[in-house]
Amino acid sequence: MPDASSNSMSEIGPPRVTVGERLDEAISALFPAWGARRAAFRVAQEQVQLLAGYRGARALRTDRKVASRGRQDRHLEATFDRRDMVDRARQLERSSVLAEGILSRSVENVVGQGFNLQANTSSTPWNDRAESLWKQWADNEADVRGMATWDELLGLIFRSYLRDGDVGTILLSDGSLQQFESDQLSSPDGWVLSRDMVDGVRLDARGKPLAYFVVDSPNPISASVRYQQHTEIPADSVLFLSRRTRLGQTRGQSCFATISWLLDQIDGNIEAVTVAARMAATYGLLITQPQPTGLPTIQGGDGSSYPRVNMEPGMIKYLRPGQDVRQIQASQPTQNFPEFLRTLGRFVGMALGLPLEVALGDYSKTNFTSGRMAMLSAWRTWRTYQQVLKRYCTQVYNWKLLGWIEAGILPARDDALRHLWHAPGWQFIDPTKEINSAMAAADGGLKSYTQIAAEMGNDWLELVATRKRELEVMAEAGLPVPARSSLTRDPLQPVPVAPAEEEEPQPAVEEEPQEVAE
């Protein structure tokens, strides 16, 4: 594909003058001051695009435009590139099995079936009441559209956070939540540079968000959100998750920003290898002839007509004078394609903090040690994301809780806001060894029962209450209580030690009298 700067056939001849250029010339001739301002804004926009180029937003893989100097990030990010990255990331999700798989596996491991709330005040009845109200709201009233539960919303929010780079939630007065995606947040006047506006977010002098401009109902016909109806929402009514990579940023960056071109390369190689394999499995013929022969034609996939030649096993085909037949031999473009794919997969996973085994789901060359190291790396990445979502869940819970207290549904308490979130955990790789290790850590005071249970995605207090009920039911039914093994014993109880065997008394040995020298 030629570079964008090269001349094409359509560019030969006098340059074309666009309507916009003619309008600028007329304005500059009649109103010089106005024309100067238009030219200044146009130059500013060109400079921003030049200095803030993301390769992940470029259609050409050969584009390597690099900024010559830095600019303040608030304005550096306010470009066409960020929106192009969002469009390209969504296209990757639709068309790339690797991109879609990475997003789905991340959501499954970070959010899973949802986060469990544990109210943590000193009053157990109050805690039970708060948790019951939260579950009722989360299952039936959280989504203003009525299409998802809170846990489902959390998974979609996290997916948008990774794919698009940012996502917002509006806290509505009726107690429900309204989500808006990255492309719904935009400046009403388009990409106009100002000190207090960054692509739909109004900032104060210190860069703190004051308000968000959200498109009310995006027009499905128009690809642009400029000049559509916007609503200005105060910042205290919006929860905004932004995947930022620099301190001065306001809008987030897609997780595919640095690897979208690499995902295109992987998909292209998969397609090439697959087509080559299909060609090798067929009998391809190429017939050359000096002039048309009047053979019957067939329409191809591109709409063009081609001569049709029917071939059957064991057939002898006589050619016309001057015709020649050559067989097409398809060869694989990459003989070591599996290893090549694994190498590219490592680069893709590196940008997302995921090892190859998780990014590609390939454990063919993994033993226990390397597999455990890979999962530990993935767990660190997922726990970091879980901390982001826990803070988000806390903001929503505090908002709902204060509303219930203000409405008199819950009594006020000094410790009302104390709570915990239990995020999904992950299964043991080697249960026997890892459970023994966890119990040894509890015995040594290095970990608590609550921490061990939380790492598995469980609530230890709930486990204790459930276990107590189980033992009571077994006792009432007359069933024997299972003996505790070394893996399930209570570390607080001393380990029973068998009494030492008493030694048989030995007969006393009389000492012989010693002679005393005179």
Residue 238: Cβ within 10 Å count: 19
In a domain, residue 143? The reply is no
In a domain, 27, yes or no: yes
Q: What are phi and psi of 371, to 5 degrees?
A: -65, -40
Residue 35 lies in a domain: yes
3-state secondary structure of 15: coil
Side-chain-side CA neighbours of residue 152 (13 Å) = 10
Residues 6+ apart with CB under 8 A from 469: none
Residue 305 lies in a domain: no
Calpha distance 303→300 (Å, rounded): 5
What is the separation, in whole angstroms, between the first and last Cα of the chain? 123
Give the residue carrying structure tokens 């029962």: 449
Strand partners, 316: none
The DSSP line for 356-413 is: HHHHH---TT--HHHHHHHHHHHHHHHHHHHHHHHHHHHHHHHHHHHHHHHTTSS---
| b/e 271-304 (16+ beta carbons within 10 angstroms → b) | eebeebeeeeeeeeeeeeeeeeeeeeeeeeeeee
2: left (phi over 0), alpha (psi -120 to 50) or beta: beta
Closest CA to 142 of 102, 115, 103, 112: 115
Number of Cβ atoms within 10 Å of the Cβ of 406: 10
CA 60, CA 405: separation in Å to the nearest integer?
56
Closest C-alpha among 250, 247, 102, 82 to residue 164? 82
Query: What is the rounded distance in angstroms from the CA atom of residue 431 to the CA atom of residue 446?
Result: 19
Structural domain of 28: 22-51
Work out whether the CA dihedral 3, 4, 6, 10 comes out positive or negative.
positive
pLDDT at 227 (0 to 100): 52
Report the residue count for the chain.
518
Over the range 327-351, which residues count as b (16 or more CB within 10 Å of their CB) and which as e? eeeeeeeeeeeeeebbebbeebbee
Structure-token match 């959501």, residue found: 107
Helix (H, G, I), strand (E, B) or coil at 160: helix
If phi > 0 it is left, if psi is from -120 to 50 it is alpha, else beta; for residue 322 that is left
- For CA atoms 247, 250, 256, 260, the dihedral sign is negative
Cα gap 239→172, rounded to integer Å:
11
Rg over CA atoms, the chain: 35
Please give the DSSP secondary-structure letter assigned to residue 480.
P
Hey, what are 246's tokens?
């620099």
How many CA atoms lie within 13 Å of 170's alpha carbon, on the beta-carbon side? 21
From first to last of its 518 residues, what are the pLDDT tens digits of the chain? 434 433 333 333 444 556 667 777 788 778 877 777 777 666 655 555 544 455 555 555 444 444 444 445 555 554 557 788 888 899 999 988 888 988 998 999 999 888 999 898 999 899 999 999 999 999 999 999 999 999 999 999 999 999 999 999 999 999 999 999 998 888 887 665 677 888 889 999 888 999 999 987 665 555 555 556 888 999 999 999 999 888 888 888 899 988 888 888 888 888 877 777 777 666 666 666 665 555 567 676 667 776 666 666 666 666 667 777 766 666 665 567 777 788 888 888 888 888 877 777 777 777 777 777 888 888 888 999 999 999 999 999 999 999 999 999 999 999 999 998 988 877 766 677 777 877 888 888 887 877 777 777 677 777 888 888 888 888 888 888 766 544 444 444 444 544 555 555 555 555 555 554 44
Reduce the DSSP state of residue 421 to 3 states and report it.
strand
Q: What are 421's strand-pairing partners? A: 117
Q: How many C-beta neighbours within 10 Å does residue 114 have?
A: 18
298 within some domain: no
What's the CA dihedral at 437, 441, 442, 443 to 10 degrees?
100
- The DSSP letter of residue 16 is P
Degrees (nearest 5) of the Cα angle 53, 55, 60? 110
Domain count within the chain: 1
Q: Which residues contact 92 (CB under 8 A, 6 or more apart)?
A: 99, 100, 256, 260, 263
Q: 3-state DSSP call for residue 435?
A: helix
Which of the 8 DSSP states describes residue 422?
E
Beta strands 201-203 and 305-307 are unpaired
Residue 335 lies in a domain: no
Query: Which three-class secondary structure state does DSSP give residue 330?
Result: coil
Within a domain: residue 75? no
Q: Does residue 37 fall inside a structural domain?
A: yes
Token digits of residue 80 = 């066409």
Q: Is the whole-model pTM more than 0.75?
A: no
Instruction: Kindly state the greatest CA–CA separation across the chain.
Output: 148
With a CB cutoff of 8 Å and minimum separation 6, the contacts of 144 are 172, 174, 176, 177, 178
Q: Residue 177 carries which DSSP code?
A: E
Nearest Cα neighbor of 490 from 455, 442, 445 is 442
Closest CA to 158 of 169, 142, 171, 147: 169
